[in-house]
C-alpha cells in the first residue's frame, strides 16, 4: 500500500481498542464500501419505482444462474457467472410480469413464486455440487468478506483483492449508468406513461436497470452474500429518501450513507464482540445492521418525514395556538372591561397544563406582547394588536359560516376557534369582502377593525 | 336504448378513412378501434375525426373507456384492432406533435422532484438521450410555470403543491412540449375554481395559436362553455360533432342512459366459453 507512514500514523491516532491491519481491514472496508455504493446507486431507483421487492427477488433468484455457470466453468471469477446471473435476473423480471399478466395474480405473489422457486433451485444445485467444487453455500448466502483480501490479482504490478477489482468496475459502470441516464431514469420512474409517449421506453429502462441489479448482485454476493445485498440495495436509498426532496441529493446522500455503513459495520464487527468477550463477528452482517441504524436515525431525525421533527413541529404549533388563545382571551376580557386575570385562572380557563402555560407566557413576555402587573396579566400595545387580529378573524369566520356556509349559529364557535389560528391578513380581507364588511358577528358582538 | 355491437351510423365513419389519405390535416383520426383487457372489450369499434384547431371534449360515464381511448391512441396499451392516424401518419411518426397530460393520480407526488423539474420533463424529448437539462431548458420551464400562474412555486417539492397547483404543473409541462395536438386526461378533476379558470384560459390560448386539444371532461354543465366539439363515448362513439348540434338531451340520454348490457353478456359468455376450452 502507498503512504505507509501515513497509514501508521492514522493507525496510531484511531483509538479503536482492537487490532487493525491496513493490509487486511483496510481492504475489507474498501470492498464493503464498493459493494454498498454500487448497490445503493441502483437502489435509489428501486425505492422510487416501488420495486424494492423486485430487487430482493432478483438478488435471490440469480443463485441458479451463478450455480450453473459455476458448474460449467469450475471457476469463480469467470464472466460466465455474470452472464448466467444476468440471464436469470432478467428471467425473474420477465416471469414476474408474465405471471402477473397471465395469471391475474398480484405482483407480490407472483414475485414470491418466481424468486423462491429459482432460489431453491439454485440451492439444490449448489448443495449437489458443493462437495465436488470449491463453492460453499454458506458463503453464497452470507458472504465471506473477511476472506476476500486473500484472493488477489495483480493490477499494475501490485496485488489487489480480486473482489475489489470486480466491485470497482461494477461501481464505475453503475455510476456511469446513473449519470448518463439520470434524466431518463428520473422521467421513467416518475411518469412512465409520459416517458413512453416521448420515446423513452420505460420498459427498456426497466430491463436495463434489472440487468445492472443482477450484475451488481453477483459482484456483491461473494463479499456480502445474496441475502445481505438486499440491505445494501434498499436501506441507504430509503434512508436518503427521508432526508431530502431532490433526486440528485438523494443519490449523493445514499452513497455517503453506504460508505459510512460499510466503515461503521466493519469497526463494529471488530469492536462490539470484543466488548462482550467474544472474537469478531461477521462484517457483512454488521454492515447491514449499521445501515439499519442509519435508517432508524434518518427516520427519527429526518427534516421531512422525521418522527422527532414532526413531534417538535406539533409541539411548537400547539404552543403557538396557546399563545394565540391567551392573547385573544385577554383581549376579550379588556373588551368586557373585566379586571386582568391571573395566570392560574387563565390556565384553568384554557385547559392548559402548568408547564405549557409557563412556556407560552415566557414566549409572550419575551416578544413584549404580555406584561405582568403584580400577579395579573395585561396586554401590551403589540399584544393588543395581535389579539385584535385574532378576534377579528374569529368573528369574521363566524359571520362567514352563518352567512355563506349556512351553518347553525350554535356550532360555529368551535370551527372559528380553529380557523382563527390559520387566518392571515389576505384571508381576513377576503372574508370581509365575502360577507359584505360586517360590523357585528352573528352573536351581535362587534368585529374589530384591522389593527 | 340498447345498440347492437356492429357499427351503427355514419357518425362512426371518419372522413379521413373514407377518403383514403386526404385527411392529412386531421390532427387525429381513429378508425374501427377496439381495445380489450383480458378479452373483455373496453372500447368497441370506435371511430372519429377530430377537427383541427378546436377544443374537443371527450365525454362519457365512468368506465366508458375514455382514458383507454387516449392511451390506445398513443400506443401505451395494445389495440385489438383498428387504425389511428395522427396528422395523416402513424402516432410513432408524429409523436413529437402530440402532448399528453395524464391523470393527476397516475404519478407519485411524493417523488423527490421540484415543480420545475417536472415541467422540464416536457423538454426531454427535445433534449435527447443522455444529454443534461441545461440552464436554458430550466428557463423555458420557469416561463411555462409563469404562464400557468405558479411561477413563484418553481422550486417547491411537488408534494407541497395543492391539487390545483399540481394540475397546473402538468399543464405547464405539456405547454413546453409545444405540440400541435394535446391529449388531456381529466385536467379539471378535483381542482379549485381559480385553477379551472386558468386551465380554460390556457385551452383558449392554445386554440388561438391553432392547436387542437382533446380533453376528457366530466362536468356536463360546462361542456358547451368550454368546448367547440364533443365526442360522446360509452364503449363506442354514441355521437360526435359540434357541441351545438351534438350535445343534446337525447344523445346524453343515449350515452349515460344504459350500459350496453347485452354486449357485456355476450362478451362474458365468450370469455367463459374460451377459458373452458
Kindly state whether residues A71 and A170 are assigned to the same domain.
yes
Residue pairs between chains A and B whose CB atoms are closer than 8 Å: 75
Higher pLDDT, A8 or B140: B140
pLDDT surpassing 70 at residue A245: yes
Q: What is the pLDDT of residues A251-285, one digit of tens each?
A: 999 999 999 999 999 888 888 776 776 666 778 88
Are A112 and A155 members of one domain?
A: yes
In chain A, what residues touch B108 (CB-CB under 8 Å)? Answer: 48, 50, 190
The CATH number of the domain where A330 resides is what? Answer: 1.10.10.10
Q: Is residue A219 part of a domain?
A: yes
Verify that A389 and A373 share a domain, yes or no: no
Query: Which of B76, B95, B118 is closest, CB to CB, to A199?
Result: B95
How many domains are there within chain A? 3
Q: How confident is the prediction for chain A on average, in pLDDT? A: 85
Domain for residue A97, yes or no? yes
B193 in contact with A, Cβ within 8 Å: no
Looking at the structure, do residues A330 and A416 belong to the same domain, yes or no?
Answer: no
Range of the domain at A429: 384-434
Check if B77 contacts A (Cβ < 8 Å): no
Count the Cβ atoms, other than its own, within 10 Å of residue A293.
Answer: 16
- Reported as a pLDDT band with limits 50, 70 and 90, residue A150 is confident
β-strand pairing of B229-234 with B55-59: parallel
Chain A residue with the nearest C-alpha to that of B155? A246
Q: Which residue of B has its CA nearest to A199?
A: B125
Quick: pLDDT tens for A94-104: 888 788 777 67
Least trusted range by pLDDT, from A85-89, A298-302, B258-262: B258-262
In a domain, B211, yes or no: yes
Could you tell me the CATH number of the domain that includes residue A420? 1.10.60.10
Which chain A residue's Cα is nearest to B105?
A: A191
CATH of the domain at B214: 3.40.50.300
Q: How far apart are CA A151 and CA A147, in angstroms?
A: 7
Specify if B1 maps to a domain: no
CB-closest option in B112, B113, B129 to A184? B129
Nearest to B107 among A191, A244, A246 (CB): A191
Q: Does residue A3 carry a pLDDT above 60?
A: no
pLDDT of residue B33: 94
* Chain A neighbors of B95, CB-CB under 8 A: 197-199
| Total structural domains within chain B | 1
Tell me the shortest Cα–Cα distance from A250 to chain B, in angstroms.
8
Q: Give which of B230, B233, B193, B198 is closest to B215, Cα–Cα.
A: B230
DSSP letters spanning B182-194: EEES-TTTT--HH
B59: distance to nearest CA of chain A, Å? 22
State how beta strands B229-234 and B236-242 pair.
antiparallel
Q: In the prediction, which pLDDT does B14 show?
A: 47
pLDDT for res B202? 94
Position B259 scores a pLDDT of 53
- Looking at per-residue pLDDT, the higher value among A448 and B100 belongs to B100
CB pair distance less than 8 Å for B112 and A191 = no
Helix (H) or strand (E) holding B61: none
Per-residue pLDDT, A20? 75
- A32 pLDDT higher than 60: yes
A124 and A44 within one domain? yes
In this complex, the residue of B76, B106, B113 whose CB is nearest that of residue A186 is B113
Q: pLDDT tens digit string along B227-239?
A: 999 999 998 899 9
B80 found inside a domain? yes
Q: What is the CATH number of the domain that holds A181?
A: 1.10.3470.10
Contact state of B107 with A180 under an 8 Å Cβ cutoff: no
Given this model, what pLDDT does residue A77 score? 64
Q: What percent of chain B has pLDDT over 90?
A: 71
C-alpha neighbours within 13 Å on the C-beta side of residue A417: 10
Sign of CA dihedral B258, B263, B265, B271: negative
Residues in chain B closer than 8 A to A194 (CB atoms): 100, 102, 121, 173
Closest to A53 measured CA to CA, from A172, A230, A176, A225: A230
Which grid cell sits at A361?
Answer: 407566557
To the nearest whole Å, the CA of A210 is away from the closest chain B CA by 19
pLDDT at B10 > cutoff 50: no
Q: Rounded to an integer, what distance in angstroms lies between the CA atom of residue A73 and that of residue A93?
A: 26
Q: Is residue B92 part of a domain?
A: yes
Residue B200 lies inside a defined structural domain of this protein: yes
At B31, which helix (H) or strand (E)? strand B28-37
Task: Say if A12 falls within a structural domain.
Answer: no
**Burial A153-173, CB ≥16 within 10 A → b, else e:** eeeeeeebbbbbbbbbebbeb
Please tell me whether residues A323 and A429 are part of one structural domain.
no
Q: Is residue A290 part of a domain?
A: no
Do A200 and A63 share a structural domain?
yes
Q: What is the pLDDT of residue A58?
A: 85
A332 and A428 co-located in one domain: no
* Nearest Cα residue in chain A from B104: A191
Do A66 and A180 belong to one domain? yes
Q: What is the pTM of this model?
A: 0.81
Do the domain assignments include residue A264?
A: no
pLDDT at residue B153, as a whole number: 95
Q: Does B39 touch chain A (CB under 8 A)?
A: no
What percentage of chain A reaches a pLDDT higher than 70?
Answer: 91
Shared domain for A396 and A335, answered yes or no, is no
Measure in Å the smallest separation between the Cα of A264 and chain B Cα atoms: 28
Does position A432 have pLDDT exceeding 50, yes or no? yes
Residue B102 has its nearest CB partner, among A186, A193, A199, at: A193
Among A217-226, B61-70, B267-276, which range has the highest average pLDDT? B61-70
Residue B12 above 50 pLDDT? Answer: no
Q: Are residues A332 and A413 in the same domain?
A: no
Angstrom distance (rounded) from CA B257 to CA A312? 55
Please give the residue that has the higher pLDDT: either A381 or A132.
A381
Find the residue in B nearest to A177 (Cα). B130
- Region B182-189: mean pLDDT is 95
Looking at the structure, tell me whether residues A401 and A365 fall in a common domain.
no
pLDDT tens, B112-156?
999 999 999 999 999 999 999 999 999 999 999 999 999 999 999
Measured distance CA(B153)–CA(B208) in Å, rounded? 27
Residue B133 contacts A where some CB pair is shorter than 8 Å? yes
Domain that residue B105 falls in: 10-276
Q: Is residue A49 part of a domain?
A: yes
Judge whether A129 and A116 are in contact, CB under 8 Å. Answer: no
Amino acid at each position: 500500500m502507498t503512504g505507509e507512514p501515513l497509514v501508521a500514523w492514522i493507525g496510531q491516532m484511531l483509538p479503536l481498542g482492537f487490532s487493525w491491519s491496513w493490509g487486511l481491514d483496510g481492504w475489507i472496508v474498501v470492498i464493503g464500501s464498493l459493494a454498498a455504493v454500487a448497490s445503493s446507486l441502483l437502489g435509489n431507483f428501486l425505492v422510487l419505482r416501488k420495486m424494492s421487492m423486485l430487487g430482493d427477488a432478483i438478488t435471490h433468484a440469480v443463485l441458479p444462474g451463478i450455480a450453473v455457470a459455476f458448474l460449467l466453468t469450475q471457476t469463480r471469477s469467470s464472466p460466465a457467472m455474470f452472464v448466467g446471473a444476468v440471464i436469470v435476473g432478467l428471467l425473474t423480471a420477465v416471469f414476474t410480469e408474465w405471471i402477473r399478466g397471465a395469471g391475474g395474480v398480484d405482483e407480490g405473489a407472483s414475485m414470491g413464486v418466481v424468486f423462491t422457486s429459482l432460489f431453491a433451485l439454485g440451492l439444490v444445485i449448489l448443495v449437489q455440487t458443493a462437495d465436488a467444487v470449491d463453492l460453499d453455500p454458506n458463503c453464497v448466502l452470507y458472504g465471506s468478506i473477511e476472506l476476500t483480501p486473500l484472493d488477489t490479482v495483480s493490477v499494475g504490478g501490485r496485488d489487489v483483492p480480486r473482489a475489489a477489482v470486480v466491485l470497482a468496475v461494477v461501481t464505475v459502470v453503475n455510476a456511469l449508468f446513473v449519470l448518463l441516464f439520470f434524466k431518463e431514469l428520473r422521467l421513467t420512474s416518475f411518469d412512465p406513461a409520459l416517458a413512453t409517449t416521448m420515446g423513452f421506453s420505460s420498459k427498456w429502462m426497466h430491463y436495463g436497470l434489472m440487468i445492472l441489479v443482477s450484475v451488481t448482485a453477483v459482484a456483491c454476493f461473494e463479499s456480502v452474500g445474496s441475502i445481505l445485498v438486499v440491505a445494501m440495495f434498499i436501506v441507504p436509498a430509503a434512508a436518503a429518501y427521508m432526508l431530502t426532496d431532490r433526486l440528485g441529493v438523494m443519490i449523493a446522500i445514499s452513497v455517503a450513507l453506504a460508505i459510512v455503513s460499510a466503515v461503521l459495520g466493519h469497526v463494529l464487527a471488530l469492536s462490539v464482540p470484543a466488548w462482550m468477550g467474544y472474537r469478531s463477528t461477521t462484517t457483512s452482517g454488521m454492515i447491514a445492521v449499521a445501515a439499519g441504524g442509519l435508517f432508524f436515525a434518518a427516520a427519527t431525525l429526518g427534516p421531512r418525514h422525521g418522527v422527532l421533527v414532526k413531534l417538535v413541529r406539533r409541539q411548537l404549533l400547539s404552543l403557538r395556538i396557546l399563545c394565540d388563545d391567551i392573547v385573544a382571551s385577554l383581549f376579550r376580557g379588556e373588551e368586557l372591561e373585566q379586571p386582568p386575570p391571573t395566570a392560574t385562572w387563565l390556565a384553568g380557563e384554557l385547559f392548559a397544563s402548568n408547564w405549557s402555560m409557563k412556556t407560552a407566557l415566557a414566549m409572550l413576555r419575551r416578544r413584549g406582547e404580555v406584561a405582568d402587573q403584580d400577579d395579573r396579566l395585561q396586554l401590551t400595545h403589540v399584544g393588543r394588536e395581535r389579539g385584535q387580529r385574532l378576534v377579528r378573524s374569529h368573528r369574521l369566520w363566524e359571520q362567514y359560516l352563518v352567512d355563506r356556509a349556512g351553518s347553525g349559529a350554535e356550532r360555529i364557535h368551535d370551527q372559528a376557534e380553529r380557523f382563527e389560528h390559520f387566518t392571515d391578513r389576505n384571508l381576513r380581507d377576503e372574508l370581509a369582502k365575502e360577507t359584505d364588511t360586517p360590523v357585528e358577528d352573528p352573536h351581535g358582538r362587534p368585529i374589530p377593525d384591522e389593527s | 336504448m340498447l345498440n347492437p355491437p356492429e357499427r351503427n351510423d355514419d357518425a362512426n365513419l371518419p372522413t379521413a378513412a373514407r377518403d383514403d389519405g386526404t385527411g392529412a390535416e386531421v390532427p387525429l383520426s381513429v378508425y374501427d378501434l377496439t381495445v380489450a383487457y383480458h378479452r373483455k372489450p373496453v372500447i368497441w369499434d370506435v371511430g372519429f375525426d377530430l377537427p383541427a384547431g378546436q377544443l374537443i371534449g371527450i365525454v362519457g360515464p365512468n368506465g366508458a373507456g375514455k382514458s383507454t381511448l387516449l392511451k390506445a391512441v398513443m400506443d401505451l396499451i395494445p389495440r385489438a384492432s383498428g387504425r389511428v392516424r395522427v396528422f395523416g401518419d402513424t402516432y410513432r411518426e408524429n409523436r413529437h406533435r402530440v402532448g399528453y397530460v395524464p391523470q393527476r393520480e397516475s404519478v407519485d407526488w411524493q417523488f423527490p422532484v421540484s415543480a420545475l423539474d417536472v415541467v422540464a420533463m416536457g423538454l426531454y424529448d427535445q433534449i435527447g438521450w443522455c444529454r443534461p437539462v441545461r440552464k436554458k431548458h430550466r428557463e423555458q420551464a420557469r416561463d411555462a410555470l409563469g404562464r400557468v400562474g405558479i411561477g413563484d412555486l418553481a422550486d417547491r417539492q411537488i408534494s407541497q403543491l395543492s391539487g390545483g397547483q399540481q394540475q397546473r404543473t402538468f399543464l405547464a409541462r405539456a405547454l413546453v412540449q409545444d405540440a400541435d395536438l394535446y391529449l388531456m386526461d381529466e385536467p379539471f378533476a378535483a381542482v379549485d375554481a381559480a385553477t379551472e379558470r386558468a386551465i380554460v384560459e390556457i385551452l383558449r390560448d392554445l386554440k388561438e395559436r391553432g392547436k387542437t386539444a382533446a380533453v376528457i371532461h366530466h362536468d356536463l354543465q360546462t361542456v358547451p362553455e368550454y368546448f367547440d366539439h364533443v365526442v360522446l363515448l360509452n364503449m363506442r362513439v354514441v355521437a360526435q360533432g359540434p357541441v351545438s348540434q351534438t350535445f343534446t338531451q337525447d344523445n346524453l340520454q343515449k350515452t349515460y342512459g344504459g350500459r350496453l348490457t347485452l354486449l357485456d353478456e355476450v362478451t362474458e359468455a365468450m370469455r367463459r366459453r374460451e377459458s373452458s376450452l
